[in-house]
Structure 1
Amino acid sequence: MTDHENDPLLAEAIARRDESRAQILRSRANRLGGSAVDRLANAFDKMAEQAEKAARQSSSALSDLEPIKPDPEGTSRSLADSEGNFPANAEVAAAGGVGIKASNTDVSTGKPAQTIEQAGVAVTSGAQKIVGDQPVGGAGSTEERSKVEIPANWRDLTWQERRSLASKLSDDPISNGEEANAAIDAELKRRG
């Protein structure tokens, strides 16, 4: 099998296979270099040269392929959860978190979940379902939001840090720096 069909993972596997084969054959050729087995050593040497050529071709084919891009739409085949269910949509595929069991399953029915609210159940204390770095179920009550510390230099934080902070202050998903700034500003105005 030498056709990678534009699949970077398959091309990498082929390149590694060919490189391993070349190393094994080169090792055998070097080990069997004695006078009694010169013909066998020569045969292994030729096979090693062919395998090294195939490894170079596989490596160049791999370098010509585009790397795998992230899949924000959730269109790639996802893994099944602990209950054996695959995610029904991109929203459910993005749900998860530490201490979350059955992340693709509506645990009340045992069937695949259709929304992130249905997906999974926390099995450890303090576990929180998340989508990306956003908690599922919103930021909580006004009292909980008031406990979140907003540093005086919050505008100097990276957009990811501002996004994480804003996700604790807003029920709306925060997907970029501008939305994070708006959510933090709104919370500061609310606090007055």
Structure 2
Amino acid sequence: MDFIHFIDKSKLNLVLKNGIKVTDCYRGKGILIYPNKEISFKTYSSEPELIKDEKLSNKLSIDKKWEKIGALGLRQNGKTVYGIKVEVPNSCWPLKVFINIQHQIAKEFGKLLDEIDASGIKYLTGETLTEVINRIKSPQFTLEGLFIINSENDLKEFIEIFQKAGGGIWSAHSFDCMIQSDISAKSVKEIIE
């Protein structure tokens, strides 16, 4: 599976020469990447404007969807955004997945994760997602979950289960993957303007 990393256009030549280096970012020390895989935008609101935005967002290409999620900070700072499509070598796994889990899908998502042999998908605290959700007292919540995913196949299964439970991406940083190793220049497969 390929991933997309977003950069300021002014950094492009440096990335092509030296690769993508681990830096301090919004999620800590690492490199934020997004799977080059379709995940639909999903609002849980009945507000007409949000439903309209969901429909428009779901017409975007995969890389433009992820740009909407992963490059917001760059765009807000007036930067020209480029996507760097990379192959993540096995040496960079496991990776972290930060994911917003809405109360509307949380129990089903936890149940589906419990039903599989998820040895390659672990909630950061070592608990199951169901155990974490059962401790939440509020009936309406957004849980910012953090999972450790061991392999590409585990990530594909995780995304499939998330979508089967009714999950989707919505706002900035609602689904971030992070690796904690540099990505070499030779792993760059494509530049997306």
Pairwise TM-score range, normalised by the shorter structure: under 0.3
**The structure with more radius of gyration:** 1
Output the TM-score relative to the length of structure 1: 0.22
Larger RCO of the pair (alpha carbons < 8 Å, separation 6+): 2
- Is the strand fraction higher in 1 or 2? 2
- Is the helix fraction higher in 1 or 2? 1
